[in-house]
Amino acid sequence: MQPGQHLGGRRLVLSYTLAMRKRASDRSQIKSVNGAQCFSTIRNAKRDYWRRIIDNAAEDADLYKVVGWHKLSPSLKAPPLVVDGISIESTREKAEALLEKVLHRYNDSDDLDYDPLEAEVRRPTLPWTTAISLEETEKNVIGVSSTSPGADRVTVRLLTACWQHIGEFIRDFFQRCLELTHFPSEWKLAEVVMLPKAGKRDKTSVRSWRPIALLSCIGKGLERLVARRISWAAIHYGIISPQHGGALPKRSAVDLVASFVYDVESAFAQGKEVTLVTLDVQGAFDALLPKRLLERMRKQGWPMELLRLISSFLADRRVKVRLEDTYTAESRMQCGTPQGSPLSPILYVLYLAELLNQDRALRFGYADDIAIYRASKSVESNVAMLERDIRQIMRWGAMNKVAFAPEKLEMIHLSRKRNASSPSVAVSPELIISPVTAVGEGQPALRWLGVWIDRKLSFKRHVSERASKALKVARHIKGLAGVKFGPPAASLRKAVITCVQSSLLYGSEIWYGGRLKPSAAAGYNRNQLVSTKLGPLIDKVNKIIVLAARGVLPAWRTAPTASVLRDAGLPSGGTALEHARIRFALRLRTLDAAHPLVRRLEAPPLPWQRATKLRCVDALVPRARGRYWPNRTFHPAAGPILQKEGRKKPQRSTSTHGGAS
């Protein structure tokens, strides 16, 4: 029922409207209709309408739609696009302009002039099989969360409902695709939705829009199957750097940042200073050149059957842009791989593997984000070494047709010295990278993979940023519920856990090492515990969780905090941080031996160095001797892998793969 649709309200609004139309001829009719009563009725109807929507939000879809109201923008038509100084207002013309300037801004003119598939393979290749089990097919097609369907409009929910009838057929079809090394053309059509980038307010620029490809859910099942096999083999056979993440199992962004923080803490213990530089690949997925990718995969040792399948996946791809329910005509792509495809991330990891393999100790990579660092006794020495490193990276990019966005180059010096200098990195006369030192809003820090890294690794800026983001959602949830009205408490609690707590605690494994830490003093005080001085940061986290808990329950403002948290089933800030810390410790027991965190834990610590945050977390859960953790895999050629204590020695093939060039 829409606002004002009840019979009394409709009659009152109709009478008032007719009276206003006849006000020039009949003044008596206007007086007979009470305008204040009319507007009051409309307000009450609107209030009842929205209250019913909020109170009945018991399902997850309805609940998260209501929770997402806090970031809604006015439902107005997008402003005109400005392309080459020309303003474009028509929706269709804007969609065509975005197609041309975003998706077609790169072409295959820089690709290789020969076919890598015709080259002779003289060395052994990695094992590959076309056999697929029904369990593996089910896991990759319907064993995922519901995703947006492609042009065929077949959803995961529909596939799940009829899986017992079509499961065997899809398995046979997938296996036949692998045997023929063919990717069906119907699954190559991408419906690209243009969404405004977060934080970009100038929507008149084409660079403020992000293309998201909607693909067939069945086709994504085959892509996911191939991607998981490639990811497993890339780690098992050492094709990629251990510090290269993205689209790889047990390789999260937080793991890479935690590895870097461990290195910085070790450098601080030796009296060194650290300089970090982050780079961003320009274009990323859209600029991937198919033949160059196939050439790199051939050199890495991938079998020819897989290369032909990837070639079929990348060839003759078509897109059509959707903007405000307006579609463009289908257009053929010359290069690139779709954003939103399960196979695209791992292909891009292999595309940049050579760059990260050139220095497996000091370079980190996650998708198109690259970070390099240097540690020495002075930042001047770091700058000199980084200048050489970045020049080498730029030369590699020019040789391999990989461009880096100069405006996204950032640098920060990490030091515990009070008056440390902050020199810039002069890559060339035209490219100078200035360090993050200017004091703006909050503490100067560099944002890398969602974590704010400040000069002394205090993480105050990071906690402030995460708290301010979670505070908006917590206030919104508290505003939805009252003492008398509001959604069910169980639904609100679920929203707090998934929308507030998860956002608030992102990266807590990096900065939270507990309330106590080993003393740095020598002598008899060496093994004593001292405060970590994280009380103010813990209080910030606790404040947000308490505010969200008061929105879950129909509690009065004067209700004690302890009882509110208990009845809401939510932990306090300190308890939530300890829980995340223990989860991280348990996760360390499931990592493979090539994982960057495991490699750092197995390295002997310095004799005079006190335990770092990572080693303190590792000590929370004892290592089980004689226990074997099976690494579940669907790679029939390699068979199951057993890992002792969650770790195993890396196995390399007889040929050399992924080495530095």
Name the band, by pLDDT with cuts 50, 70 and 90, for residue 89.
confident
- What length does the chain have? 661
Please say whether the beta carbons of 45 and 5 come within 8 A.
yes
pLDDT at 516 over 90: no
pLDDT digit string, tens, across residues 211-249: 899 999 999 999 999 999 999 999 999 999 999 998 898
- 3-state DSSP call for residue 327? strand
Name the band, by pLDDT with cuts 50, 70 and 90, for residue 480.
confident
pLDDT at 196 over 70: yes
- Return contacts of 118-125, CB within 8 angstroms, 24+ apart: 119/295, 119/298, 121/298, 121/304, 123/301, 123/655, 124/301, 124/653, 124/654, 124/655, 125/301, 125/302, 125/303, 125/304, 125/655
Name the band, by pLDDT with cuts 50, 70 and 90, for residue 651.
very low
The pLDDT value recorded for residue 342 is 94
The pLDDT value recorded for residue 21 is 61
Domain ranges of the chain: 7-55, 86-454, 460-644
The pLDDT value recorded for residue 652 is 43
With CA atoms as reference, report the closest residue to 230 among 634, 656, 644. 634
Range ranked top by mean pLDDT from 24-38, 85-99, 139-153, 379-393: 379-393
- C-alpha span between 467 and 544 (Å, rounded): 7
Name the band, by pLDDT with cuts 50, 70 and 90, for residue 255.
very high
- C-alpha span between 324 and 76 (Å, rounded): 11
Q: What percent of the chain has pLDDT over 90?
A: 58
With CA atoms as reference, report the closest residue to 635 among 230, 240, 223, 143. 230
- C-alpha span between 46 and 63 (Å, rounded): 20
Query: What is the rounded (10 degree) CA torsion for 335, 341, 345, 346?
Result: -100
Tokens of 260: 């870097």
pLDDT at 5 over 70: no
Outline where 554-643 has alpha helix (H): 561-568, 573-588, 596-602, 613-618
Average pLDDT over all residues of the chain: 85
pLDDT digit string, tens, across residues 536-582: 999 999 999 999 999 998 888 888 999 999 999 999 999 999 999 99
The DSSP string of 231-282 is HHHHHHTT-S-TTEESSSTT--HHHHHHHHHHHHHHHHHTT-EEEEEEEEBS
Residue 203: phi and psi, rounded to 5, are: -80, 0
pLDDT at 587 over 50: yes
The pLDDT value recorded for residue 13 is 64
- C-alpha span between 251 and 244 (Å, rounded): 8
pLDDT digit string, tens, across residues 13-56: 666 666 666 554 555 555 555 566 667 777 777 777 777 777 77
CA 70, 74, 78: angle at the middle one, nearest 5?
A: 130
Half-sphere exposure of 309 (CA within 13 A, CB side): 24
Half-sphere exposure of 273 (CA within 13 A, CB side): 21
The pLDDT value recorded for residue 74 is 52
398 or 5, which is more confident: 398
The pLDDT value recorded for residue 438 is 56
The pLDDT value recorded for residue 253 is 95
Q: What percent of the chain has pLDDT over 70?
A: 84
Mean pLDDT of 329-357: 94
Q: Provide the whole-model pTM.
A: 0.86
The pLDDT value recorded for residue 14 is 65
Residue whose entry in the numeric block shows the structure tokens 């969650």: 646
- C-alpha span between 571 and 569 (Å, rounded): 7
- C-alpha span between 515 and 538 (Å, rounded): 9
The pLDDT value recorded for residue 111 is 94
- 3-state DSSP call for residue 362? coil
pLDDT at 118 over 70: yes
The pLDDT value recorded for residue 73 is 57
Mean pLDDT of 371-382: 96
pLDDT at 299 over 60: yes
Distance set, CA 506 to CA 28, 451, 457, 610 (Å)? 66, 8, 16, 26
Facing residues of 629 across strands? 643
- C-alpha span between 394 and 427 (Å, rounded): 9
